[in-house]
Chain A
């Protein structure tokens, strides 16, 4: 199988010794000209790439206060150096957040600052060479843009913003990443990341409806393109067939059914994910976001609800209004958009769901806070709702719940290792190693409290865990969807027991 060693997980919370260059050769496949050009980027590395990269950096500095301030403000205090899961899992010093930033900062200093122009050696400014570009390509694709480092930085410097900018620059000189750019092409062409066409989608959902009826005896519908429905559900396309995602989708359907609301999916906007965030492209992100607005307008819905997906929720919660708003044609009694967990929790509080907790008694659960939900969004009315609401839902439908160590959840949660556009087979090594801090925290509660399953509310987390958990000695199906737990516990009206 893999030709690399994962760090044995019981040594993890010791900060690794530096291992320079350990991950230098870990870089994803480069996007083919076809996929580049479909997004309006040059097909391959352009001849004058240096000049163009510097020009693009200059442009981004003018467009983003975050980038400008973050480039200037770092004092090299080192507070962030041991906070990145990719550093903890690899020991490669360039995976320390500040060192990752410095890959771009040294170019910024060289071409945009007084000190870097006249005293480059003194302030670590460097010319933009092929070696630097190679480092960019490797190490900016070893950042899942999880923002954990930014929690600890005294200036809130967010390496995610810097990775996004670097990827945007690389796209514009013709060195994009295959995985993200190919997927964005599919979203534009077909409507979702998986390239699942309308017909196949309708079939899949019909099959699911049958499954539910077989299980419960209740006709639970999963409507697509239903004009005049009240709610548009936008969910990651993995929910349509990947495990355990699909069990979550069944959970949403049951909740909607029980609530008696009219809802629909859209085949045109059959994808909640917005990979344009990963490549730092505002323009692409806007195009992808506008699909959702268009679907909502065409179907004439009153509300938009998002399914379980981490970065999709960040884009939805934090950016959708900016990118595709204002949503004044929707019902102003509800936030736009809403998270499925907000919807379900609301019903639970009103006592409208009949939940039999004992149905989940074969499991002891813990909950993995997904980074984009934890540090880039919110649920409910008050700060921190993104931590409380999913846990409240789990506790409402399960008897056995234990949290992992406090410094590995909540705002300091560890990334699953596959976020930020890294969920591709060509990055398996960094994905596996980056998962190790989470695996360590999980192992601790498995050993101490007999935890059997870890719930998550992110399509990427679920796919990533299902894939890497076996490397750490866990079953691939020990990761579950939160709404899968609801699905297990809910007793629908008229359900055969």
Chain B
């Protein structure tokens, strides 16, 4: 019964996640940017923009300029999260991919870094007056959710081990539609339950910053307005209404 509920929820969450995210990304991609508004100085070539985006996405360059503490906590959390996610691939692959094995030792301890980063970020929301002012209930809940996920994961890894073999069977079963029983370990169920919540809310929450960063015109536009005329389709339509619509 429990296994079935979780299995169904995982399928549902995945569906919501994929459909929601595809819809959002599509929306961002389809919505035109009528004007050239890169925050300058900006790269003057496409390859320059790729470099700018890379620095932004991988090193959080702008955040680094803004506030070293927020940068440190935020960056540590995100990198740790990445390592932890990569590590978790071992539960979904058989045989486990070679490089996933390599990540294991790092991923194992990254959980602590993740927890530390999250706690520090949460601390800011209480201790820094300005950040406290802008924090809403959802901002606090999001951090609690992530902290809950990290903490329950660490408990299973280092204190109350769960039946990892059955868990992996369950996970693989989900992928190959060959359903297996999920171990009824309370910590595991909490961990998985919180992860489910995270997947469900992803496309309707501020987690949309993940796709959003790639679509920010302030960062992804090439600074070449004099060289290359840029016109959005709806703005082009304005042109044809005017007598002077020549040269196009």
Contact = CB atoms under 8 A, between A and B. Distances in A.
Interface of A: 15, 17-18, 61-66, 68-70, 72-83, 93, 96, 98-99, 102, 113-115, 121-124, 147, 150-158, 161, 282-283, 286, 290, 293-294, 317-319, 321-322, 325-326, 328-329, 335-337, 374-378, 381-384, 386-387, 411-412
Interface residues of B, number: 67
Given A63-B34, A317-B225, A68 B130 contact: no
Given A72-B208, A75-B206, A156-B219, 8 more contacts: A63-B31, A65-B33, A72-B206, A82-B130, A93-B130, A152-B67, A286-B238, A378-B223
B35 to A, nearest CB: 6
Closest 3 CB pairs of A and B: A156-B218, A73-B212, A152-B66
B206 to A, nearest CB: 5
Nearest to A73: B212
Given A82-B130, A96-B133, A319-B36, A122 B138 contact: yes
A18 B134 CA distance: 12
Contacts of B41: 378, 383-384, 386-387, 411
Contacts, number: 219
Contacts of A98: 134
A66 B218 contact: yes
Nearest to B124: A78
Looking at A65, A157, A161, A283, the one whose CB has the most chain B CB atoms below 10 A away is A65
B97 interface: no
Interface stretch (B82-90, B145-153, B159-167, B226-234): B226-234
Nearest to A77: B70
Nearest to A87: B130
A65 B62 contact: no
Given A66-B218, A79-B67, A96-B134, A383 B223 contact: yes
Contact of B230 (A17, A322, A386): A322
A335 B206 CA distance: 41
Contacts of A375: 39-40
Interface of B: 24, 27-28, 31-37, 39-44, 56, 60, 62-63, 65-67, 70, 74, 124, 128-131, 133-139, 141, 201, 204-206, 208-209, 212-213, 215-219, 223, 225-232, 234-235, 238, 242, 244, 247-248
Nearest to A68: B31
Contacts of B225: 317-319, 321-322
A321 B223 CA distance: 13
B36 A155 contact: no
27 contacts: A15-B130, A63-B32, A65-B217, A73-B206, A74-B206, A75-B139, A76-B134, A79-B67, A83-B66, A93-B130, A96-B134, A99-B134, A151-B39, A152-B62, A153-B66, A154-B63, A155-B209, A155-B213, A156-B218, A158-B218, A282-B235, A286-B235, A290-B244, A378-B223, A383-B44, A384-B41, A412-B65
Contacts of A384: 41
A81 B39 contact: no
A158 B70 contact: no
Contact of A156 (B62, B223, B230, B242): B62
A36 B208 CA distance: 38
A136 B163 CA distance: 56
A75 B34 CA distance: 25
Contact of B32 (A65, A156, A317, A329): A65
B226 A383 contact: no
A384 B48 CA distance: 14
Contact of B37 (A77, A328, A329, A376): A376
Contacts of B44: 378, 381-383
B65 A151 contact: yes
A65 B234 contact: no
Nearest to A373: B40
A98 to B, nearest CB: 5
A383 B222 CA distance: 11
A319 B66 CA distance: 28
A154 B131 contact: no
B54 to A, nearest CB: 14
Nearest to B219: A156
Contacts of A64: 31-34
Contacts of B219: 155-156
B62 A154 contact: yes
Contacts of A377: 40
A405 B43 CA distance: 25
A147 B216 CA distance: 14
A12 to B, nearest CB: 16
B136 A326 contact: no
B67 A157 contact: no
A76 B247 contact: no
Contact of A321 (B40, B135, B206, B229): B229
